[in-house]
Each structure stands twice: as C-alpha cells, then as structure tokens.
Amino acid sequence: MSGLFVVEPGPQTTVQDLGRPGYLRYGIPPSGPMDREAFCLANRLVGNPESAAGLECTVQGPRLEIRQESVVAVTGAEMPFRINGQPAPLWQAVLVRPGDLLQLGMVKTGCRAYLAAAGGIDVPPALGSRATYLRGRLGGVEGRALQKGDLLPVGVPPERLDAVEGRRVRPDLVPSYPQEVECRVILGPQDDRFTPEGIEAFLAGPYQVTPQVDRMGYRLKGPGITYRHGHDIVSDGIPLGGVQVPGGQPIVLLVDRQSTGGYTKIATVITPDIARIGQTKPGHGIRFRRVSLAKAHALLRAEAGRWQDAILQ
C-alpha cells in the first residue's frame, strides 16, 4: 500500500491540521499545531493548502519508510533530518521515492518539528478535522500518537512534484529558538484579582518551563504572584494563551486546553507568540512583556504580512 509507513514513531508524533474550531463549547478543544506558522510553511513548501494534515514531532521525530513518490518538507525545531542516512535540508521541499527511509533525530533547538507531504496525510476526519486530540482520543490515527507499524495514507498532490521540489523558506525568515524567549501579553481578564506586586513579579520573571508540560498547557516556575482575593473564581472560558495562576505560579493554556476553568487569569499571550511557548523545552526560560490590545492587533497584522512572500522557488 502507498503512503508513509511508520518504522519508529518517536516519543510523541501526531497527525495535525489547523484544528476543529466551534466545539470548545462542548468541551472539545480545537487542537492543531503548537507552532502554527511552521506548520503552515511546511504545507506551503510542498504545494498543499495550509489546512492539509501533516505530522507534529515532539523532541524527537519518527523514522518513516516512503511507499510512494512524493515531496516532503520539515520545518520548525532543529531536528537532524536524514534521508537514507544522508543529511537533508530543513525548511525546503525535497523529492523522495518509494523505499526511501526518512528520519528525524533528537531536537537540537526548539521543541517541535513539522513534516508535510504533498497531498497531505489522508486519515479520516473527525468532526471535520484530522487533528489529533490525545486526551479525548479523537482524530488523527485512532486519536493517539503514532505507533510502530502504522501506515499513513497520503492524498493526491495538488501540484506537480517537479514544480514544488526545491522550494525553500527565505533564510531571513527561518526562526531561531533561544533558551529564553519573550512572550507579549495583554493583561486580564482577571488582572484586578492580583496585587500590583504580583503583576510586577509576573512581568519581571523569568519563569522556567517545568517538566509538567503538554499540548494542553505549560506549567511554569518562578517569582511568586500574589493575589488580592485568592485564586478561585466562578468558572469562565479559557482563551488560547490564557495564563492561569493557581498557587502563585502561572500555567499557559494552549491548543488542547480545557473549555472553562475556575482559576484567575492574569494575562493572555498574544497570538503571534503562541509558537514561542510551544517551541520552548522544559528547563528553558520565558519572560512576559505587557502590550496593549491595539498593539497586539497591529502585531497580528504584521505577522500575517511577514509570511506572505516567505517561499522561494
């Protein structure tokens, strides 16, 4: 059978697309990639629509046997990429043939890499999306991470393979993944529940990423954040990037977050900086910087424009 055969799965490799919006009210998160920009660029490199399903590889990637001629691209974290044991370029579309062995090694910088294949990973959609929601066992391959022996079907490429082979991302747009990142936030919606000293401590940082991290959220450790009236509130909605503060320490909620929560939220990470969280490994640092809502909107528009001409033929 054609497609991608999983020889070794890596510690957590999942099928993702851009997610399943509209179900958070029922307790089902959108899921999708932790680093949306890197994921979309991988799809664009191989000629797919940005919404096509690909693989998210965490810390260490899989070993895959190619069962049909295709073009693939790997973006995101710096994971050594090899084809038949030979180094292959990241952030570039590469032609592969049946029998080729692809391997993504242990990450050097960053945390998550993305692999796209021309035509997209063609697993059955669940609630309109192929994205894997691990806690709910929904989407992807039986709602789980890849396992040895899985065969991933690949769809029909939307463009000729020879037309996309060799495409690459502009070198000046390839991101770096430092050991300490700055993430911009809008204070609130419950910043009034914290003391001025607590808000000052949150913005001063730095916070270290603890081992208690997953696609639902990142638990951080650092300066204690003090409250005016305690950390419990009547449960309300959890936005992407919402920063809850139970016990004086922040947790950043991400793509597999719960729909509601009863802890005070001191701030929300702005959309363009969500990827910085998802690419930060345990033990590395995060600082938070306050921006206004108007500034956040301007940064979002600038980020969208930044990627328009990212692909070189």
Whether 32 contacts 22, CB under 8 Å: no
Percent of the chain with pLDDT over 90: 93
Does residue 1 carry a pLDDT above 70? no
Torsion of CA 205, 211, 214, 217, to 10 degrees: -30
Domains of the chain: 4-172 (no CATH), 180-306 (2.40.100.10)
Dist. CA 292–CA 280, nearest whole Å: 24
Residue type at 271 in one-letter notation: T
Enter the pTM of the model.
0.96
Q: Where are the beta strands (DSSP E) in 166-307?
A: 168-169, 180-187, 207-213, 217-221, 232-237, 242-244, 251-253, 260-263, 265-269, 285-290
For 12-47, the pLDDT digits (tens) are 999 999 999 999 999 999 999 999 999 999 999 999
**Mean pLDDT for all residues in the chain:** 96
Provide the pLDDT confidence category of residue 306 given band limits of 50, 70 and 90: confident
Does residue 158 carry a pLDDT above 70? yes
For 249-297, the pLDDT digits (tens) are 999 999 999 999 989 999 999 999 999 999 999 999 999 999 999 999 9
Does residue 112 carry a pLDDT above 90? yes
For 212-262, the pLDDT digits (tens) are 999 999 999 999 999 998 788 888 999 999 999 999 999 999 999 999 998
For 65-86, the pLDDT digits (tens) are 999 999 999 999 999 999 999 9
Mean pLDDT of 142-164: 97
Dist. CA 56–CA 70, nearest whole Å: 18
